[in-house]
Structure 1
Amino acid sequence: MNIFYHELKAYRKSTIIWTISLVAIVMLFMSFYPGFSKDTEAFKKVMENYPPAIRNALGINLGNLVSILGFYCFPLSFITLCGAIQAMNLGTSIISKEVREKTADFLLTKPVTRTTVLTAKMFAAFASIVITNIIFIAAASIMAFQVKTDDFSFKIFIMLSLTMFFVQLIFLALGFIVSVSGLKLKSVLSVSLAVVFAFYFLGMFSDTTGEKVKRYFSPFKYFDNTYILKHASFEASFLVVGAIIIIAAVAASFMIYTKKDIHAV
């Protein structure tokens, strides 16, 4: 438990900065909605000139753009990208930092097992992500009610907002795998950015082909905002795949970490 609180405190500043940044982005974009709702046709004409793949990558659906939920999907695509970077960076750094900072041997001489250490660190990372999402969803909800011009489904709004949380969980788990892999990471952020943007561009590529099977290669495409708006539900097959990735990554992280050699200083 001491390890959990220590890690939570160590990443407190990072969590606060990321949370404030995500809240600022959603508040900025949502503040544009009242003015946008008065002249949607002009914006639609501009967006019609963009290829469908680009519009999909930006979270723009011309049919739903008039409503506040459809408009919310636009900034949500950028916010999810930022959230994925936060989660990947956190998952990668929270375990590998012991090797980078040469404190691994000190930590492992304590009367705790490696499983306990890894569990505490994972829960601390998970708690940071949960805190970020609670504050973000609360701020986004307040802003949506402030700028709305018509009634909207709050249930769907929450479902759309939760897509960032689910994507973050996947990248957090991938970050754990990278952190225990034994690679000497000189810069955690550069690795996190490379992985996240690689998956993001894979998602954009899947949009150009329109093939559903290619969506499985990018976590960013596991949650289709248009599908959520239409059916008020998530696509079960992608939820299952996402859960499998998380479980497999966490399980593999435990297996690798408990058996790997930790070099002393």
Structure 2
Amino acid sequence: MRGLSRASLAEVEERFNAVAGSADLGTLADELFSVAALFDREHGLRRNLSDPARPAAQKAQIVRVLLEGKISDAALETVVAAVSARWARSGDLADSLERLGVVAASAEAEAQGRLDDVEDELFRFGRIAASNLELHRTLTAPAAPEAAKRELLSSLLAEKVAPTTLRLVTQLVLHPRGRSLDGGLEEFGKLVAAQRQRLVAVVRSAVVLSEEQKQRLATWLRTSYGRDVHLNVEVDPRVLGGFSVHIGDDLIDTTIAGRIEEVRRRLAG
């Protein structure tokens, strides 16, 4: 989001933070996801509720009539704040609600002491889906029934991952909202990491890193960036030796493959 929408999101987040403290966070996440999906489906409703020419009080009243008694007070107040705000494009309204749903789910995982698990599980699931073409095809097939996808995810992940992980993966698979599965998992992973204001680093190494090596690398990155860094480590024999680190737009490449490629570029130039 940019400009006007970014400022509006900050205002809605402030209201969300004020009402979420006493809410059931898992339920709040599900409700915000459901309202976001409603706005995605009902284009006319979304346009009316994001129309800057329509008075905020009128839009708030529409939402209260439509949703009061059907979702929790915390979810309703968050949605009212969202429709009362001004958005640069109508899609940003639904985007903001989904984003806050991820924040609510992340807060629940943090309260359960499972935030690290969720970060790791989202990353690993992305790698599994990317390497299993049949699974990836099934989860991303537009014509596949939602119930079948939900049942498949439950059979694969229930009791094996944190409830928040299953909730977030299910949201992405059932409501991709124009994203690839990989892109959505990366986006959600960053939002989960932001729950503790941490950066996410994707580390590729030719061999499995020991816990001591990962701790040293995390300490060095924390010192370099001034923030805690969560490591998603992927073993990739193609790097030959050393390791590479992607963090934001930065690439730290100490691999043999990376050095060979750099030599090739210099020779080509």
Above 0.5 in TM-score? no
* TM-score after normalising by structure 2: 0.31
* TM-score after normalising by structure 1: 0.31
Q: Which structure features the higher share of strand residues?
A: 2
Q: Which structure features the higher share of helix residues?
A: 1
Larger Rg: 2
